[in-house]
Amino acid sequence: MKRFTIYTTALLLGLSLSLQAQVNSERKTMSEGVYEAQVIQIPNLDAKAVGNLWEDFMKDNYNARTKYNRKTKEYFTDDASIAGIGMGNTIDIYTTVEDKSGGSELSMWINLGGAYLSRREQGDRYLEAEKMLISFGLETAKETVRLDVKAQEKAWRT
C-alpha cells in the first residue's frame, strides 16, 4: 500500500509538470506552403500515439473526421465546424506530428477558407485555437498517466 501511495504521488507530480502546456507560434512548411503554425510539445509520447490521440480528440470534441495522408505526412481535418475559430464557417485543419527527444511535437495550421489563421490578423480566433491545443495537451497528459499506471500495475503482477 505504501508503494502504491508513492507511485501515485510520483504520477500526479509528473502530470502536474506535463500539464504546463505552452503553445508557440512558428512559420513552418506544410503541404500548402509556408504559414504560421501553432506548435505544442508533447512529452513522453511518440508521434504515432499522439497522431491517434489527435484523431480521437477531433472526433470526440468537434465531431470532425481526421485522415492521415501518407504522401504529405499530415493529418487533414476537412470542413470542421468549430464556432470560436470558424465564426460560422467550416475550416480545414492540417496537422503534423514529429518525434522529438523526450516526446513529440504537434504543429497545426488552420485554413479559414481563403487565409490561414494568424496571430496578427485574427487574434481572437487564434486564442480559441490555442485553447483547443491546450485542451489536447491535457488529453495527452491523461494518456501518459494512464500508460504509466498500466505499466506499474503490470510490474506489480510480476
Among the ranges given (11-20, 34-43, 146-155), the one the predictor scored with the smallest mean pLDDT: 11-20
Give the pLDDT confidence of 20-71 residue by residue, as tens digits.
Answer: 568 999 999 999 999 999 999 999 999 999 999 999 999 999 999 999 999 9
Distances, alpha carbon 26 to alpha carbons 34, 36, 130, in Å? 10, 5, 13
- The domains found in the chain, sorted by start residue, are 22-142 (3.30.530)
Cβ-based neighbour number of residue 56 at 10 Å: 13
Instruction: Say what the pLDDT of residue 7 is.
Output: 60
Containing 76, the helix (H) or strand (E) segment is strand 74-80
Confidence of residue 2 (pLDDT cuts 50, 70, 90): low
pLDDT of residue 12: 56
pLDDT tens for each residue of 106-139: 999 999 998 999 999 988 999 999 999 999 999 9
